[in-house]
Chains A and B, each alone.
Chain A
Amino acid sequence: MVDFISVAIVLLAASSLLLPLLQLTKGGSWRLPGYVLALVLSAVLVLVGLSTVSPTSVTWFGSLLSDDQLGGVFALVTVGVTLAVTVASFETQRGSSNPVYYSLLSFTALGMLLLSYSQDLLMLFVAWELMSLPTYVLAGFDKKQRSNEAAVKYAIIGAMSSAIILYAISLAYGLTGSTQISAVVQGFYQLLATQSHSSALASLAILLFVAGFGFKMAIVPFHMWIPDAYEGAPTTVSTLLAAATKKAGFIAAIRVILAITTVYVLTRSPLFTMANVFAVLALLTMTVGNISALTQRSMTRLLAYSSIAQAGYILIGFVAYSANPGSTAATIGMTGAILHVINHAVLTSAAFLVAALVIMQLKRDDLGAYNGLGRGMPITAFTMSVAMLALAGVPPLNGFWSKLLLFLSVANGPFGWLALAGILNSALSLGYYGWVVKRMYFDERESSERVAEPMWFVLIFAVLVGLIIGIGLFPQQAINFASGAVSNIGH
Chain B
Amino acid sequence: MSFVLSLLVFLPLAATPLIYIITKMNKRWGIYSSFALGVIVFLIAAYVSWKVYAAPPAGGHYLFQEKFSWINFQFLGLDYFLGVDGLSTPLIFVSALLTVLVIVGSRELIDHHEAEYFALIFLFEGAIMGVFTSLNLILFYIFWEVVLIPMFLFIGVWGGPRRKYAAMKFIIFTYSGSTIMLLGFLYVYLGMSGAGMTPSFDIPSLAGRIPLGMQYLPLLASFIGFAVKLPLVPFHTWLPDAHVEAPAPISVLLAGVLLKMGGYGFLRIALGLFPNASAQYGWLFLALGLFSMFYGAFAAVLQKDLKKMIAFTSINHMGFVLFGAYATIVSGSLLGIQGAIFMMFAHGLAVGCLFMLSGYIHHQAGTREIPLLKGLGTTMPRTATVLVLASAAAMGLPPFASFLAEFLVITAGISAYAIAAISVLVPVITAGYFLWMIKRTVFSPASAGASVHDLSWTDVAAFSAYLIPLVVVLVASYLILAPALPVATFLKGLA
Contact = CB atoms under 8 A, between A and B. Distances in A.
Interface of A: 328, 331-332, 335, 389, 392, 394-396, 400, 404-405, 407-408, 411-412, 419-420, 423-424, 426-427, 430-431, 434-435, 437-438, 441-443, 475-476, 479-480, 483
Interface in B124-155: 138, 141-142, 145-146, 148-149, 152-153
Contacts of A475: 71
A332 B189 CA distance: 14
A286 B72 CA distance: 29
A407 B186 contact: yes
Given A394-B145, A434-B171, 5 more contacts: A400-B142, A434-B172, A475-B71, A480-B73, A483-B73
Contacts of A405: 76
Contacts of A438: 156, 164, 167-168
A403 B156 CA distance: 28
A427 B145 contact: no
Contact of B167 (A442, A479, A480, A483): A442
A328 B149 contact: no
Given A423-B179, A430-B171, A438-B156, A412 B187 contact: yes
B186 A442 contact: no
Most buried by B among A392, A411, A438, A443: A438
Interface in B173-192: 175-176, 179-180, 182-183, 186-187, 189-191
Contact of A476 (B72, B141, B179, B186): B72
A332 B145 contact: no
Interface residues of B, number: 37
B417 interface: no
Contacts of B70: 476
Contact of B186 (A419, A426, A483): A419
A483 B76 CA distance: 13
Contacts of A419: 183, 186
Contact of B187 (A332, A389, A411): A411
B145 A395 contact: yes
Most buried by B among A328, A405, A430, A443: A430
A388 to B, nearest CB: 11
B71 A479 contact: yes
B142 A396 contact: yes
B397 interface: no
A400 B149 CA distance: 15
A430 B172 contact: yes
Interface residue SS majority, chain A:
helix
B193 interface: yes
A460 B485 CA distance: 55
Given A411-B190, A476-B70, A483-B73, A442 B145 contact: no
Contacts of B167: 438, 442
B412 to A, nearest CB: 36
Given A435-B168, A475-B71, A408 B190 contact: yes
Interface string B6-18: 0000000000000
Nearest to A331: B74
A400 B172 CA distance: 17
B114 to A, nearest CB: 15
- Please give me the 7 A-B residue pairs with the lowest Cβ-Cβ distance, nearest first: A412-B190, A395-B142, A442-B156, A427-B176, A427-B179, A442-B164, A411-B186
A441 B167 CA distance: 11
A298 B172 CA distance: 22
B149 A389 contact: yes
A394 B183 contact: no
A431 B176 CA distance: 10
Contact of B157 (A335, A442, A479): A442
B163 interface: yes
Nearest to A410: B190
20 contacts: A332-B73, A389-B149, A395-B141, A400-B142, A404-B138, A408-B186, A408-B189, A411-B190, A412-B187, A412-B190, A412-B193, A412-B194, A419-B186, A424-B179, A430-B172, A434-B171, A438-B164, A442-B167, A476-B73, A483-B73
Contact of A395 (B71, B72, B146): B146
Contacts of A394: 145, 148-149, 175
Contacts of B478: none
B402 to A, nearest CB: 35
A435 B172 CA distance: 10
Interface in B61-82: 70-76
Contact of A434 (B141, B163, B168): B168
B61 to A, nearest CB: 28
A412 to B, nearest CB: 3
A4 to B, nearest CB: 28
A427 B175 CA distance: 6
Contacts of B187: 411-412
B73 A441 contact: no
Nearest to B189: A408
B172 A423 contact: no
B23 to A, nearest CB: 15
B76 A408 contact: yes
A431 B75 CA distance: 33
Most buried by B among A400, A420, A441, A479: A441
B175 A412 contact: no
Contacts of A480: 73
Contacts of B72: 476
Nearest to B144: A395
A427 B189 CA distance: 21
Contact of A423 (B71, B138, B148, B183): B183
B69 to A, nearest CB: 9
A328 B74 contact: yes
A403 B154 CA distance: 28
A250 B138 CA distance: 29
Interface in B181-211: 182-183, 186-187, 189-191, 193-194
Nearest to B177: A427
A153 B176 CA distance: 38
B191 A412 contact: yes
Contacts of B156: 438, 441-442
Contacts of A332: 73-74, 76
Nearest to B180: A423
A335 B73 contact: yes
Contacts of A435: 168
Contacts of B73: 332, 335, 476, 479-480, 483
Nearest to A420: B183
Contacts of A392: 175
Contacts of B145: 394-395
Contacts of B193: 412
A395 B72 CA distance: 18
Nearest to A428: B176
A443 B165 CA distance: 11
Contacts of B163: 442
Contacts of B149: 389, 394
Contacts of A335: 73-74
A476 B69 CA distance: 10
A404 B72 CA distance: 14
A173 B163 CA distance: 63
B456 to A, nearest CB: 32
A326 B85 CA distance: 43
A272 B149 CA distance: 43
